[in-house]
Chains A and B, each alone.
Chain A
Amino acid sequence: MSNTARVSRWVGGILSILIVFVIFIVPFIFILLTASKTKVEAADRLFTLPSDWRLIDNLVEVIGRGNYLLPRAFLNSLILTVTSVILITLTAAMVGYVLQRRRSRWNRVVTFLVLAGLVIPPAVVPTIWLLQGLNLFKTMPGLILVTVAYGLPFSVLLFSAFMSSIPRDLDEAAIIDGAGPFRLFFRVIFPLLRPVTLTVVVVQSVFIYNNFNNALYFLPGDANATVQLTLYTYQSQSQTAFNLLFMSVLLIMIPPLIAYIVFNRQIVGGMTAGGVKG
């Protein structure tokens, strides 16, 4: 590489780092700074260093606030995310398995329903009406079932795409050994789906954890609020303490941040596969 090329590469690189830093990192620094301020200082919403670092005090205060509202919301979000993800993974893997292996007139129907689910905006009030009829409105199981329904299409797509990479010879060997469909799927195929299962689990966890609309519509009220709903309610109160609000924002960002660090490859792979099939 020539000298000028090397210089321009470094200048261009440093310039890009600066621009990206200002546009994409500074807002997160603002969150951290505001979360570290006193209530009075944070109320100014200025981008300044705190004159008095109160990060730990604010953390303690936000956790205890409203009779441990935030920890309870985290627990609810955890229950919602874990249960929904387990149900989505199992049911979507079963669909993807049969869809990819068996040619039948149902293939077109299933494919159509999957694409419809990816495109069509859910009908909100009729869903509430239905949940009320089933006595599931404003309950965690109701929210979980709706969340599973919304998460299925994308997951089915990923599973059926991955199924095609598993050789049919394995199925035939297992069938000759006398395995029924359940043993074939759960003992032979499902373990081999591990990479895509991990992708589905990670990506759906982030989606569900971050989702706000569903809880807003189907689980209103304080008792079972998820973290996103709690955060939203907190910011719309008139007497909001900005230091505590941004401490909440900071805490709520931590699980996706950890997921991103640990499962970088799955997240990037899964989300960019959003268009596995055009």
Chain B
Amino acid sequence: MTSAYPFSFYLPAAVIYGVFFLVPTITSFYFSLTRWTLFDVQFIGIDNFQQFFREPALVKGFTNTFIYAFVTCGAKVILGLLLGAVLSSQIIARGFLRSAIFFPVLVSSIGVGITWKALMDPFDGLLNQALAVIGLHGPGWLTDPSIALLSVAVVDIWQGVGLATLIFIAGITSIPQEVYEAAAVDGANTWQKFRKVIVPLVRPATTTVLILSLIGGLKSFDLIWTMTKGGPGFTSDVVASVIYKQYQAGFFGLSTAGNVVLFVVVVALVVPLQTWLNRGNSEG
């Protein structure tokens, strides 16, 4: 007798996922060890990885990936939590505020990137024009090598904080009302309620936001590519943009080595973090 839940139902998804995701992922380990061009593949051992950690341009992309991911992830957790707390309180125009903060999540990174590139123009951009009104001379947000990466990170936070906020709102709303009442009876002020009730009890939401934005930050590509193309020079490159640049230049093996590096970075950071945070959740 056949089961009512046949394994054959796995088949269509398994074929598509297996062929178009698993096969490339697994073969990438081999290709990362080759000198690979349009014409041939030649096994060269770990040369690509050595090159990856020797060439300043590539090393810069590697370190920038961490900076970018940590800055965007940290800011989304902190700002999202604060905004979530404010927007779950009895504030006026709550619906409008939530929608306005969330809408950028639904706009493509290309649209967001083009818009902010114009707003961050060193001379005519709204940002520096506004700073000039209060007598400040704004920097070249995307043209100054020392801040270009952080400027893009700020736009990334602008675009993504709405999602973090909504996840925190969902978490805060699920805290039982009695807890707030108990805190009120004990005479807790707003800050104490935030610090002693909300922060510890939204931990599952914090975990979600942290993991999602860390993964997103490490893989980040399109916003950076639209706004700076990794420039000026290679000062705002990340591993994902290095992968694209090396691919465009025809260094397929090196590009794939970049992919493997990114794979290792993501797994090495996310898996232990996830395990650790979840253990904390089940204990708490």
Report which A residues bind B (CB closer than 8 A).
9-10, 12-14, 16-17, 20-21, 23-28, 30-31, 34, 44-47, 87, 90-92, 94-95, 97-98, 101-102, 104, 106, 110, 113, 117-130, 145-146, 148-150, 152-153, 156, 171, 175, 180-181, 184-185, 206, 209-213, 216-217, 228, 231-232, 235, 242, 245-246, 249, 252-253, 256-257, 259-260, 267-268, 271-272, 274-275, 278
* Smallest CB-CB A-B distances: 7 pairs: A275-B208, A13-B92, A123-B28, A149-B20, A126-B24, A210-B108, A102-B5
Complex-state Cα separation, A262 to B262, whole angstroms: 38
Are B17's CB and A24's CB within 8 A?
no
Complex-state Cα separation, A85 to B277, whole angstroms: 33
Report which B residues bind A (CB closer than 8 A).
2-7, 9-10, 12-13, 16-17, 19-25, 27-28, 31, 36, 86, 90-93, 96-97, 99-111, 114-119, 121, 124-126, 129, 158, 163, 166-167, 170, 204-205, 207-209, 211-212, 215, 218-219, 221-222, 226, 240, 243-244, 247, 252, 255-256, 259-260, 262-263, 266-267, 270-271, 274, 277-278, 281
Grouping DSSP codes into helix (H, G, I), strand (E, B) and loop, the B interface class, with mixed when no group exceeds half, is helix
Complex-state Cα separation, A249 to B116, whole angstroms: 12
> Can you offer 9 A-B residue contacts whose CB atoms are under 8 A?
A16-B91, A16-B93, A23-B158, A46-B129, A122-B25, A125-B259, A126-B23, A213-B222, A274-B163
Complex-state Cα separation, A98 to B278, whole angstroms: 26
**Nearest residue, chain A, Cβ from B253:** A125
Q: Contacts A125-B247, A130-B23, A268-B166: A30 and B106 contacting too (C-beta < 8 A)?
A: no
Are B17's CB and A113's CB within 8 A?
yes
Grouping DSSP codes into helix (H, G, I), strand (E, B) and loop, the A interface class, with mixed when no group exceeds half, is helix
Complex-state Cα separation, A124 to B16, whole angstroms: 16
Give the contacting residue for B92; candidates A9, A113, A146, A181; CB below 8 A: A9
Are B27's CB and A30's CB within 8 A?
no
Question: Please, which residues of chain A bring their CB within 8 A of the CB of B226?
Answer: 232, 235
Complex-state Cα separation, A146 to B256, whole angstroms: 18
Question: Please, which residues of chain A bring their CB within 8 A of the CB of B256?
Answer: 123-126
**Nearest residue, chain A, Cβ from B101:** A24
- Among B20, B108, B208, B266, find the residue whose CB has the most chain A CB atoms closer than 10 A: B20
Complex-state Cα separation, A148 to B215, whole angstroms: 20
B39 to chain A, nearest CB (A): 13
Give the contacting residue for A98; candidates B7, B208, B266; CB below 8 A: B7
Are A17's CB and B278's CB within 8 A?
no
Give the contacting residue for A9; candidates B91, B96, B209, B274; CB below 8 A: B91
- Among A13, A26, A212, find the residue whose CB has the most chain B CB atoms closer than 10 A: A212
Are B215's CB and A119's CB within 8 A?
yes
A232 to chain B, nearest CB (A): 5
Complex-state Cα separation, A73 to B105, whole angstroms: 22
